[in-house]
Amino acid sequence: MIVTALGCLAAAARHAPAQAPVRAPNENGRIPILEYHLVGERESRWSRSRENFRRDMELLYQRGYRPITVAQLVDGDIDVPAGLSPVVFTFDDAPPSQFRYVEHNGRLEVDSTSAVGIWLAFNRLHPDWKNRATFCLLSGAADGHAFFGEKGIEGQKSAWRFPKLRFLVDQGFELCGHTLWHANLSRYDARMVQEQIARGVLAIDSAVSGYRVRTFALPLGLWPRDRSLAARGSWKDPRTGMEVKYSFDAVLEVAGPPVPSPASAAFNPFALSRIQVTGGEPGKTLDQLDRRNDRFVSRGPGRIIRTGTATKQHGGTSTNRP
């Protein structure tokens, strides 16, 4: 059985949601997509400290942001309450520091010091901060970057890899492709590009049977020479003769500004830029959005439909859980 370590503690500390300032709706505003790699002891180019990661969520929460997945973004399924704004969290490379298990008396618990543990504790404190984030996975890279750890690296057993993916899906998180071992797709021919992407998708399907991978993150933000192969392609497994096809609804780049609203004609789901969270981010980006009055503010849950530059909204509940 899988339980989270901080359950009791967090339940005791639960309180009413903080009062975010009420803002006028602006469904033509921009939406920040944040990008994390390692979450660990200290801060570096590719690592966010645990404390700063928790503070990032606190900052966003207090400033009226609530998380959605990439799949929700491209569907225009922005289910945040009126007056609040969506933010997208993406986690790249599947290192153990994002999601570790610890074994206690034969039971697996989410390590409260891993990013998923910190996230779940925050969700318990603030139930309106839902479990919505997108994990862009490597299935076979070095140093434990293989579905969050293997072979004893950081205490992680290989047998825990598939259960971790199933746990994420059960919680409402999205799984995203990021190739087999982080290949620089600009350097390889079309066959190798498709093999790298398809094998990553195939590995996710092995863990969560029938899961439709809708989002792909370009390793290093680098495109293959034939850009269309980042979104669509196929590869024939020589061992089984089976053809593995992939067709994504979203492609993530690396560095850039917050993305336009899905209502805007400028919204391109196949080239979504992200903000790497280091140093003064995401605070700098949030300040800039407020200064320019260019922040997406919801008028209430419901689907946003692209209609040129204006927005139209359908009522009803959202159906596109990741």
Shorter beta-carbon distance to Zn ion: residue 37 or 100: 37
Binding track over 200-229 against Zn ion, x by CB under 5 A: -------------------x----------
The minimum distance between CB 92 and Zn ion, in angstroms, equals 4
What are the Cα distances from residue 173, in Å, to 119, 133, 308? Answer: 11, 5, 30
Q: How far is the CB of 4 from Zn ion (least distance, A)?
A: 26
**In the complex with Zn ion, which residue's Cβ is closer, 219 or 262?**
219
Question: Residue 59 CA to chain centroid, in angstroms?
Answer: 18
Q: Indicate whether 35 belongs to the interface with Zn ion (CB under 5 A).
A: no
**How far apart are CB 219 and Zn ion at their closest, in Å?**
5
Dihedrals phi, psi of 85, to nearest 5 degrees? -125, 145
Q: Cis bond leading into 257, ω under 30°?
A: no
- For the bound state, the minimum distance from the C-beta of residue 218 to Zn ion, rounded and expressed in Å, comes to 8
Give 45 or 314: the residue with its C-beta nearer to Zn ion: 45
77 vs 93, beta carbon nearer Zn ion: 93
Cβ neighbours of 315 (radius 10 Å): 8
Site string for Zn ion, 48-87 (x = CB under 5 A): ----------------------------------------
Instruction: Report the site for Zn ion in 90-119 (rule: CB under 5 A).
Output: 92-93
* DSSP letter, residue 177: E
Please classify residue 169 by burial: count the beta carbons closer than 10 Å to its beta carbon, then call 0-12 exposed, 13-18 middle and 19+ buried. middle
Q: Which residue is nearest to Zn ion (CB)?
A: 92
Show Cβ contacts of residue 156 under 8 Å, excluding neighbours closer than 6 positions.
96, 100, 101, 144, 148, 149, 150
CA angle in degrees (0–180, nearest 5) for 179-185-188: 115
* CB closer to Zn ion, 192 vs 254: 254
Contact 315, 299 (CB under 8 A): no
Total of residues contacting Zn ion (CB under 5 A)? 3
Between 142 and 305, name the residue whose CB sits nearer to Zn ion. Answer: 142
Which residues sit at the interface with Zn ion, rule CB under 5 A? Answer: 92-93, 219
